[in-house]
Structure 1
Amino acid sequence: METPANNHRPTPAQRALDVLVENAEDTAALDALADSEVLVPVPEDTSEEDATDPGTVTLPVLEQPDGEPVVPVFTSELEMAGLLPFVSRYRLVPLGALAAHWPADDLSLTIDGSSAHRLTLTSEGVRTLLARP
């Protein structure tokens, strides 16, 4: 049996990100992105109880080269492995729900940070563009 060399099909979130690279104001793409689920890496120091609690999500905060804090999330395991190959646990979270509970402080969100379709939003952008009830 032959297996195609590239069996990776873009997720709906990845297709939305591709559209947003061309037109950052595309409301249909923003809605599709907000309606999708993303992988949120579980920080290593998170207890197993907190890591599996459906009512809480511990955000992994990384520091960018300029010192600004950012939370990385991913559209697939492949995208996550490209930037954070050491991550062993993650949560699958609806992006719109995550955005609806986004902290008020200056905490950016980056989606698929190492890909050509990456998107980084400020804290205000997360709440304004992606938050869903």
Structure 2
Amino acid sequence: MTEYYPNGAASAVQMALRAVAAGDAHDAELDTLADSEVLVPTGSAADQSPETVSLPVYEQPDGTELVPVFTSQARMHQAFPKITEHRLIQLGALAHGWPSETLALVIDAGTPEELALTAQGVKDLLDRGTE
């Protein structure tokens, strides 16, 4: 399925995700990821203050805890059809305030560009503003 994105923004993000997954990412791709906004699924936007973001944490059968984020509503809906609420947040800002050394991040779960990062990977790859 081909998705339409204004200004090609998401396709640039998806190309950056592919480069990271393939081990071919350079600073330009990492900067693209860090600067991109992602959708963080929420239960209800009314339940959260505008200053905070509650991260959805899912536990895998092996005990790994992860936070899923998505580059488009279509991709979020594909993974979580019943979730309609989300918050937009810059990926680099999310990485900068990453709350745990054990929590993993998954970008675009269930898609060809899916990227799973450990907590250290989140900091190393996406927290670009503090170098």
TM-score by length of 1: 0.83
Deviation at 1:27, TM superposition (A): 2.3
Paired positions, count: 125
Deviation at 1:125, TM superposition (A): 1.1
Going from structure 1 to structure 2, the CA distance change for 1:83 and 1:49 (only over 3 Å counts) comes to closer
Going from structure 1 to structure 2, the CA distance change for 1:47 and 1:77 (only over 3 Å counts) comes to closer
Matches within 5 A, 1:1-133: 6=2, 8-9=4-5, 11=10, 12-42=12-42, 44=43, 48-50=46-48, 53-133=49-129
Question: Which structure: larger Rg?
Answer: 1
The sequence identity of aligned pairs, in percent, is: 44
Q: Which runs of 5+ in 2 are unaligned?
A: none
* In structure 1, distance between residues paired with 2:35 and 2:117: 17
* In structure 1, distance between residues paired with 2:41 and 2:21: 24
Structure with the bigger percentage of helix: 2
Deviation at 1:47, TM superposition (A): 6.9
**Is the 1:111–1:120 Cα contact (8 Å) retained in structure 2?**
yes
Structure 2 counterpart of 1:34, one-letter code: A
Structure 1 counterpart of 2:97, one-letter code: H
Q: Which runs of 5+ in 1 are unaligned?
A: none
C-alpha RMSD of the superposition: 2.0
